[in-house]
Amino acid sequence: MLTWLAVALLAGAAVVAIGWGLRRADELGRPRRFPWVTVALLLAMGAGAAVPGVLRASQERRLGGAASVLAGARVAVRCQSFGGAFVDAGPELGYVRWRADGSPEPWTLIKRDQCRHLAAYARSDKRRPTRDQVVAVHVLTHEAMHLSGRLDEAVAECAAVQRDAQTARLLGAGPADAAELAGAYWRNVYPLMPEGYRSGECRAGGAMDERLPDAPWLAPLPP
Ligand SMILES: [Zn+2]
């Protein structure tokens, strides 16, 4: 919405400037002054209205790049807009749409708050992520696992806990900080997930253990 406002304001600036160019003299033949104030105001307001959309697009590109590596296919991440968050009442933190044949559409929507936490994490030094940031990084991994074709929630969740460290590294964390983030989710959040998201087979040596080097059960406990 804001982006359309920006387009309208910038178009307005162009219309005013072109209008001056087409009629540089008034009825009496006196030269008209260029409408600097109007054009500058429209340009400034247009640029201001464009900022949130531009920032969101650049974050979506970055998150989409990470999700594509995790999913093993080219996928897109969309961050929920302010308008979308306003009308949204769903409890989930992100979602993927499934086609009738059981394959995922190649994009995921991440809720506004989680995109904010992901942006804060990406900007941070990654040493002490907040719990919200840990969960937001995991949400990105979880949705990427859906995008790789894992429909079942417990399957996607267990594949995600084994890749949260990779996601953190893709967002710029060093190996030790990334492993600690994955361990924090595994110890503090996974056990609290609802029934359908957990499995007794999601453990070292369990049926869902993919024996990845990033498995959170391999991460050393923090001092
Ligand atoms: Zn899910």
pLDDT digits (tens, 9 = 90+) for 6-49: 999 999 999 999 999 999 988 888 999 999 999 999 999 999 99
3-state secondary structure of 194: coil
Per-residue pLDDT, 85: 74
pLDDT, tens digit (0-9, with 9 covering 90-100), for 184-199: 999 999 999 999 999 9
What is the pLDDT confidence band of residue 215, given thresholds at 50, 70 and 90? very high
Write out the two tokens for 175: 């190996």
* pLDDT: which is higher, 216 or 2: 216
CA–CA gap between residue 60 and residue 72 (Å, rounded):
17
Segment 41-70 mean pLDDT? 95
User: What's the CA-to-centroid distance between 95 and ligand 1, angstroms?
Assistant: 7
Q: Is the pLDDT of residue 74 over 90?
A: yes
Write out the two tokens for 219: 């991460």
Q: Which residues, in sequence order, are CB contacts of 36 under 8 Å at separation 6+?
A: none
User: What's the CA-to-centroid distance between 141 and ligand 1, angstroms?
Assistant: 10
CA–CA gap between residue 158 and residue 203 (Å, rounded):
9
User: What's the CA-to-centroid distance between 117 and ligand 1, angstroms?
Assistant: 18
User: What's the CA-to-centroid distance between 51 and ligand 1, angstroms?
Assistant: 31
Per-residue pLDDT, 200: 96
User: What's the CA-to-centroid distance between 187 and ligand 1, angstroms?
Assistant: 19
User: What's the CA-to-centroid distance between 221 and ligand 1, angstroms?
Assistant: 27
| Token pair 């993927």: residue | 96
Per-residue pLDDT, 204: 96
Per-residue pLDDT, 105: 96
Q: Which amino acid is at 192?
A: L
pLDDT, tens digit (0-9, with 9 covering 90-100), for 115-135: 999 999 999 999 999 999 999
Torsion region of 68: left, alpha or beta (phi above 0 gives left; psi -120 to 50 gives alpha): alpha
- Treating both helix axes as pointing N-terminal to C-terminal, what angle do 112-123 and 36-71 enclose, rounded to 10 degrees? 90
Per-residue pLDDT, 88: 72
> Which contiguous run of DSSP H or E holds residue 94?
strand 94-98
User: What's the CA-to-centroid distance between 93 and ligand 1, angstroms?
Assistant: 9
Q: Is the pLDDT of residue 213 over 80?
A: yes
* pTM for the structure as a whole: 0.86
Q: Is the pLDDT of residue 90 over 90?
A: no
Determine contact, residues 94/108, Cβ cutoff 8 Å: yes
Determine contact, residues 50/6, Cβ cutoff 8 Å: yes
Write out the two tokens for 96: 């993927």
User: What's the CA-to-centroid distance between 109 and ligand 1, angstroms?
Assistant: 11
